Structure formats: C-alpha cells, structure tokens
C-alpha cells in the first residue's frame, strides 16, 4: 500500500469510528467495506493451494472477483488493475466464511460462494452461472451449454465467454469440453484442464479415446435412456447393459429417451 492509500485508509477508519459514535448501536456493519469500496481499497487477494497448483484469489465486498494461477503477485495485481481498474491489496487469508466455502467447493462439497461478475456481459454471466450447475466429476460439451442458456447458435460465443472466466476452478469452466468430445482449451491451458478433471476422478485420456472412437452417448438397454458418458446415471450402467451412440439422432431413432439429469438433447 502506498502513502496515499494508507492515508485514505486511516481517514476511512476515523470516519467509520465517527459514524459509529453518531449512530450508536445502529451503525450498519457493512459500512467500512462500503467506504473502502468507494476509495478503491476494498479488493484484496490471498494465496490458495489447489489441485492445479498455487493460485491467487481476489475478492471484495461483492464476492470473489478473480483467480490467477501461480505465485507471481506482481503480474496478478497488474493484470487485475488492467482488467478491473481497481488496486489489489494482499491479505494472508480470506475471511473465515469465504475460506471455508472455497475449501468445501474444492473438496467437491456444496458451498455457496458469492462472485463479483460485474465486469461481464449478461451473456457471459449466463454462461458462467450455467457452468456452475455441472456436477463435479462430469463434463458437458460447449453446444450443450449454449442450448441450455437458450442460445443454441452461440457455441463459439460460449467458448469465448468461458475463456474470459475471471474465476476459473471456482466457476468450473474446466467441465465444459469440445463438442467433438475432446478436452479442448482452458483459461490456464489444456494441461491444467486435464489436471482439474483428473482431480475430480475423471480420466481425460479415457474421455478423449471415447470421443475419437465416435462415442458421444452411453445408454442402458434396460431403462432405454441415453446420457452423456460422465453423467452419474450413465456411470451406473453395467457393462452387459451398456449401449453407445454416436449422435442423439441415432439414440432417438433407436427409441431411446434423453436423460432428465444430464439432458443430452431436448426431449422430443
Ligand atoms: Zn444422464
């Protein structure tokens, strides 16, 4: 923090003390973060260990705003200032509630994390919020995501939106794969994407072998329902009952219905 910021911070704290005295017990708890936000002093970052190595995580009063890979704090804060126009200050650890939520999310448990997605377009936000719905240990194609948000023609735009995900890993854009089934690109590169998927129990090589063999869907000849191969329902199909399909048209022509959980196609 430079001298100007230190002075601003000291002024802000004095102001908050004064307001507390004026308002007595009624002073709103969020007043310091609000003032710090006004002064551009609210955004902080902390280091985090993850399945794809060390990360830097930035947050403010609106939520988690950015995730960077590596330990180069200068590059991270410069990139943040360039993209969001706000300075970042280091903090050794996040507030306890946020720290717990992130730890739980990375361990595959359900945990609510607030995100600061203010800098994104409505389309980019819709894309990222849909990606959050994909369960850990499962993948879906770009085309699926485009269709789910009501923009079936916007497959390429979905790819771009995921490529601009400011909070990778926490918003799991690594769970979206190419529509031909290959793992594809990632904000942090293909190798990191494979590592993130492997950490969730998936075998990226297996996913790609299946894709290269032309297998897009797994189905059960007892339920006559077809799924994306990583869907939890598909993974329960035992080998003697496993049927594979190269397209949803082929599955439907054979009289199979799409799974209601992974929604591999619009029910017809
Ligand atoms: Zn399914």
Taking only the tens place, the pLDDT of each residue in 132-166 is 999 999 999 999 999 999 999 999 999 999 999 99
- 262 a catalytic residue: no
Considering the domain delimited by 43-116, tell me its CATH architecture: 2-Layer Sandwich (3.30)
First to last CA, the chain: 59
| CB 1 within 8 Å of CB 42 | no
List the CATH code of the domain at 214-258: 3.40.10.10
Q: What is the pTM of this model?
A: 0.85
Q: How far is the CA of 232 from the centre of ligand 1 (A)?
A: 6
Side by side, which strands form the sheet with 44-48? 63-69, 55-60, 44-48, 89-90
What separation in Å is there between the alpha carbon of 170 and the centre of ligand 1? 23
d(CA 237, ligand 1 centre) in Å: 11
pLDDT in tens, 87-111: 999 999 999 999 999 999 988 888 8
Extents of the domains making up the chain = 1-42, 43-116, 122-211, 214-258
Sign of CA dihedral 245, 246, 249, 250: negative
Q: Who surrounds ion ligand 1 at CB < 5 A? A: 227, 231, 233, 259, 261-262
Measured in Å, residue 159 CA sits from the centre of ligand 1 at 23
Report the top-level CATH class of 122-211.
mainly alpha
CA distance 190 to 201: 17
| pLDDT tens profile 10-55 | 777 777 677 667 666 565 666 666 676 666 668 999 999 999 999 9
């Amino acid at each position: 923090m430079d001298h100007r910021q230190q002075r601003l911070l000291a002024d802000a704290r004095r102001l908050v003390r004064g307001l507390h005295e004026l308002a007595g017990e009624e002073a709103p708890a969020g007043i310091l973060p609000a003032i710090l936000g006004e002064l551009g002093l609210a955004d902080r970052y902390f280091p985090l260990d993850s399945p794809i190595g060390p990360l830097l995580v930035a947050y403010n009063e609106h939520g988690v705003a950015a995730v960077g890979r590596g330990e180069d704090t200068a590059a991270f804060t410069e990139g943040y200032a360039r993209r969001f126009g706000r300075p970042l200050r280091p903090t050794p650890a996040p507030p306890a509630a946020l720290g717990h939520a992130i730890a739980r999310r990375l361990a595959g448990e359900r945990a609510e994390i607030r995100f600061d997605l203010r800098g994104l377009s409505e389309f980019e936000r819709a894309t990222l919020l849909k990606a959050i719905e994909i369960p850990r240990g499962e993948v879906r194609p770009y085309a699926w995501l485009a269709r789910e948000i009501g923009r079936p023609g916007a497959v390429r735009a979905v790819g771009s939106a995921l490529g601009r995900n400011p909070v990778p890993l926490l918003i799991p854009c690594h769970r979206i794969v190419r529509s031909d089934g290959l793992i594809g690109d990632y904000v942090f590169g293909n190798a990191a994407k494979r590592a993130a998927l492997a950490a969730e129990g998936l075998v990226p090589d297996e996913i790609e072998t299946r894709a290269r063999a032309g297998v897009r869907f797994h189905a059960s000849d007892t339920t006559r329902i077809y799924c994306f191969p990583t869907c939890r329902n598909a993974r329960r199909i035992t080998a003697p009952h496993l049927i594979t399909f190269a397209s949803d048209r082929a599955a439907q022509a054979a009289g199979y219905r799409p799974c209601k959980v992974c929604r591999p196609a619009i029910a017809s």
